Amino acid sequence: MDLNDAVLTCAVNLQWTNATGTVGRKLAYRTATLRLIRNDIRELFIECTPEKLKPMKFKLKDIMVHKKFMSEGKASVNFKAEKCAMYLSNAPPGTLMFFLRTIFIKMNGGENVDDATAQKQLRAHMLSGKPSTFEEVSPVTTAEMILARKKAGLLPSKGSATTPSPLAAKKRRYDEIKGGGDKSGLPAPKKLYQESPMDTEEGLRLCQEQIDVLKACISGKSIFFTGSAGTGKSFLLRKIISALPPDGTVATASTGVAACLIGGVTLHAFAGIGGGDATLQRCYELASRPASAQAWRKCKRLIIDEISMVDGQYFDKIEAVARHIRRNDRPFGGIQLILCGDFLQLPPVIKREESSSQTPPQRFCFQSSAWEKCVEYVYELKEVHRQSDPEFVNILNHLRIGHINEEITKRLKTTSKQKIEGNGILATQLCSHTNDANSINESKLENLPTDKVLFRAEDSDPAMTKQLDTQVQAPSQLFLKVDAQVMLLKNINISAGLVNGARGVVVRFEKGVPVVRFKNNTEYSCKHEKWIIKTPNGGTVTRRQVPLKLAWAFSIHKSQGLTLDCVEMSLSKVFEAGQAYVALSRAKSLDSVRILDFDPKQVWANPQVLQYYKLFRRRLHDTTMIPLGAKNKEEKKKNGDAASSALAKIKKSLLSKPLVSIS
Establish if 230 lies at the interface with ligand ATP (CB under 6 A): yes
Q: Which of 222, 231, 266, 485 binds ligand ATP (CB under 6 A)?
A: 231
Q: What is the DSSP string of 4-24?
A: -TTEEEEEEEEEEE-TTSSEE
Quick one: 206 or 448, whose CB is closer to Mg ion?
206
Q: Kind and range of the H or E element at 78?
A: strand 75-79
Quick one: 457 or 562, whose CB is closer to ligand ATP?
562
Q: Which partner in Mg ion, ligand ATP, none is near 331 (CB below 5 to 8 A by kind)?
A: none
227 annotated to bind ligand: yes
Q: Which partner in ligand ATP, Mg ion, none is near 559 (CB below 5 to 8 A by kind)?
A: none
The stretch among 23-31, 226-234, 269-277, 425-433 that binds ligand ATP (CB under 6 A) is 226-234
Q: Which partner in Mg ion, ligand ATP, none is near 563 (CB below 5 to 8 A by kind)?
A: ligand ATP
Do the strands 23-39 and 44-50 form a parallel or antiparallel pair, or are they unpaired? antiparallel
Report in angstroms how near the CB of residue 425 gets to Mg ion at its nearest: 25
Q: Which of 268, 324, 386, 543 binds ligand ATP (CB under 6 A)?
A: 386
CB 105 within 8 A of CB 99: no
234 annotated to bind ligand: yes
Quick one: 189 or 561, whose CB is closer to Mg ion?
561
Q: Which of 8, 118, 217, 229 binds ligand ATP (CB under 6 A)?
A: 229
Quick one: 320 or 381, whose CB is closer to ligand ATP?
381
Q: What is the DSSP string of 436-459?
A: HHHHHHHHHHHHS-SPPEEEE-EE
Find the residue with minimal CB distance to ligand ATP.
Answer: 232
Residues 6+ apart with CB under 8 A from 526: 513, 514, 515, 516, 546, 547, 548
Q: Which partner in Mg ion, ligand ATP, none is near 226 (CB below 5 to 8 A by kind)?
A: none
Establish if 227 lies at the interface with ligand ATP (CB under 6 A): yes
Q: Which partner in ligand ATP, Mg ion, none is near 204 (CB below 5 to 8 A by kind)?
A: ligand ATP
229 annotated to bind ligand: yes
Secondary structure class of 527 (helix, strand, coil): coil
Establish if 103 lies at the interface with ligand ATP (CB under 6 A): no
Q: What is the DSSP string of 104-157?
A: HHHHHHS-PPPHHHHHHHHHHHHHHTPPP-EEEPPPPPHHHHHHHHHHTT-PPP
CB 187 within 8 A of CB 171: no
- Write out the binding residues for ligand ATP, residues 329-368 only, by CB under 6 A: 342, 345
CB 341 within 8 A of CB 582: no
3-state secondary structure string across 206-243: CCHHHHHHHHHHHCCCCEEEEECCCCCHHHHHHHHHHC
CB 303 within 8 A of CB 240: yes
Report in angstroms how near the CB of residue 235 gets to ligand ATP at its nearest: 3
- Which residues make beta-bridge pairs with 12? 29, 88
Q: Per-residue contact track with ligand ATP, 173 to 212, x per CB under 6 A? A: -------------------------------x-xx--x--
Quick one: 231 or 266, whose CB is closer to ligand ATP?
231
Residues in touch with Mg ion (CB under 5 A): 233-234, 561
CB 516 within 8 A of CB 504: yes
The stretch among 15-23, 160-168, 223-231, 610-618 that binds ligand ATP (CB under 6 A) is 223-231
Q: Which partner in ligand ATP, Mg ion, none is near 207 (CB below 5 to 8 A by kind)?
A: ligand ATP
**CA distances for 92 relative to 212, 216, 248, 389, 579, angstroms:** 18, 16, 11, 35, 36
Secondary structure class of 550 (helix, strand, coil): strand
109 annotated to bind ligand: no
231 annotated to bind ligand: yes
- Which residues make beta-bridge pairs with 176? 64
Report in angstroms how near the CB of residue 346 gets to Mg ion at its nearest: 11
d(CA 95, CA 7): 8
Report in angstroms how near the CB of residue 498 gets to ligand ATP at its nearest: 12
* C-alpha closest to that of 136 among 173, 106, 181, 100: 106
Report in angstroms how near the CB of residue 562 gets to ligand ATP at its nearest: 7
Q: Which partner in ligand ATP, Mg ion, none is near 231 (CB below 5 to 8 A by kind)?
A: ligand ATP
Quick one: 234 or 592, whose CB is closer to Mg ion?
234
CB 596 within 8 A of CB 416: yes
Quick one: 10 or 344, whose CB is closer to ligand ATP?
344
Report in angstroms how near the CB of residue 494 gets to ligand ATP at its nearest: 8
Establish if 561 lies at the interface with ligand ATP (CB under 6 A): yes
d(CA 342, CA 336): 20
Burial of 554: CB neighbours in 10 Å, binned 0-12, 13-18, 19+: buried
Residues 6+ apart with CB under 8 A from 8: 2, 33, 34, 88, 91, 92, 95, 96, 99
Q: How many Å from the N-terminal Cα to the C-terminal Cα in the chain?
A: 42
Residues that bind ligand ATP (CB under 6 A): 204, 206-207, 210, 227, 229-235, 342, 345, 385-386, 561, 563
Residues annotated as binding site for ATP? 227-234
Residues annotated as binding site? 227-234
